[in-house]
Each structure stands twice: as C-alpha cells, then as structure tokens.
Amino acid sequence: MAKLRVHNFSMSLDGYVAGPDQSLEHPLGVGGQRLHEWIFRTRTGRHTILGTEGGETGIDDDFVARGLEGFGAEIMGRNMFGPVRGPWTDDSWTGWWGDEPPFHYPVFVLTHHPRPSIEMEGGTVFHFVTDRIEVARERALDAAAGADVRVGGGGATIREFLRAGLLDELHLAVVPTLLGRGERLFDGTDVAAQGYECVELVASASVAHVRLARTNER
C-alpha cells in the first residue's frame, strides 16, 4: 500500500527544525541553513539541487538518494511554498524553485488561501488545498496512483501529520549543531502515544540518521 513518507528532514541536537525569526531573507530562520549543509555536501544533493557535479558518496548520500525514490506526489505546508510574511497571496508567487521545479509530479500546498492550480515546466503542478490534511492526503494518494506521497515539510506540517497519525515513515537527520531557539518538531507532539518507534539508526561523521515508523496500527 502506498505510504506517506518524510525524508531528509534535518533537526538540530537541541530539537529545532528551523531557526528563529523566519522571513523572506531567512526562510529557514536565522541559522537554519546550517541544518541542511550536509545535503549540499552529498553527490546526490549537489546534482539534484544545485545541478553541479562532485560531492561525497556514502551514508549521507545514500539517504538523500533514498529520499527521492518512489514518490508520485508531494504535500507541503504553506511556509515551504512561500515566505511566511511574503508576497504570495497576490497569486504571482509560484514557489522558490523557478520555472521548472525539481518535483516533476503534483504538489499539494496546504493553505487557507484558495487559488487556481499552477502548471509548471517539467511536470510539476501546484494544487492549493484549503481542506483538512485528511483530504490533502486522499488527493495526493490519488494523484500518486500507487506510488508513495512525500510530505515535504515544514515542521508545522509534519507535526500536524504526526499528531493525526497519518505519516507512515519519518527519516530524521539529526545534525550535531545547536540552534538554541526556533521551531521544534516534537513540541506538543507525543509521537510515542501515536505508535511511532525508531526502527533504524545509522550515522556518518556529520549526521545521525534515524527512521521512525508506525509499528502498531491504530
């Protein structure tokens, strides 16, 4: 059965998935980019995101690659599609990713702001969902047509799916850095009560990768 999965979601050692004071200048919050530097050091990350050659292979690269495989649609929160206090309620904003976003499949953006779908180059179509996350899940699973659905983030969206028990798998990349302030993934979210367990721990010299999965079905 098709799954909802999160991959390569980075968290600081003190539990933050974004820095404080998110804005157009700092979409990941102040210092938040430090959480993602490991991805840009990998071969797959460099190739996929930057379009450049080189980069490291090994454990981190394997995880980045795994996080790109088997998906037919994506769900993301409003703050991942556009800046928190930004220009996109005027409908001219088409995401951070230029004319040809790297998704190449339907992307369902959770928002309170209804808006017509946008067809981008390369197969990415942005749909705007003002319904509950259960509805977004159904629509994305339909669109994925048997493939898995990636839940892209950000933190608030993943928290919402975790709380509802609607996420099947969560790959967290615990980065040995301290942000001190910001947005936390596990605040107000009792993932143990929702039946999630850690099913894998593997670390490189830079990142500890942990996979969570729901082991007891509700």
Task: Name which of 88, 132, 87, 80 is nearest 109 in CA terms.
Answer: 80
* Residue from 99, 100, 121, 197 binding its own copies (CB under 8 A): 197
* Residue from 40, 88, 97, 186 binding its own copies (CB under 8 A): 186
Residue 212 touching its own copies (CB under 8 A): yes
List Cβ neighbours of 26 (8 Å cut-off, separation of 6 or more): 19, 32
Query: In this complex, which beta carbon is closest to its own copies, that of residue 37 or of residue 129?
Result: 37
Residue 119 touching its own copies (CB under 8 A): no
Task: Name which of 218, 135, 177 is nearest 19 in CA terms.
Answer: 177
CA–CA–CA angle 15, 208, 29 (5° rounding):
40
Amino acid identity, position 36: H
Least Cβ distance, residue 82 to its own copies (angstroms): 28
Residues 18 to 77 in contact with its own copies, rule: CB under 8 A: 31
Residue 100 touching its own copies (CB under 8 A): no
Least Cβ distance, residue 77 to its own copies (angstroms): 20
Q: Which stretch binds its own copies (CB under 8 A): 64-72, 85-93, 96-104, 184-192?
A: 184-192
Residue 181 burial (CB count, 10 A): 13
Residues 154 to 183 in contact with its own copies, rule: CB under 8 A: 172, 174, 176-181
What does the buried/exposed string (b/e) look like for 148-166 if buried means 16 or more CB atoms within 10 Å of the residue's CB? bbbbbbbbbbbbbbbbeeb
Least Cβ distance, residue 44 to its own copies (angstroms): 21
Residue 94 touching its own copies (CB under 8 A): no
Burial class from Cβ neighbours inside 10 Å (0-12, 13-18, 19+) for residue 1 reads exposed
Residue with tokens 């994506």: 74
What is the contact surface with its own copies in residues (CB under 8 A)? Answer: 13-15, 31, 172, 174, 176-181, 184, 186, 189-193, 196-198, 200-203, 205-208, 210, 212
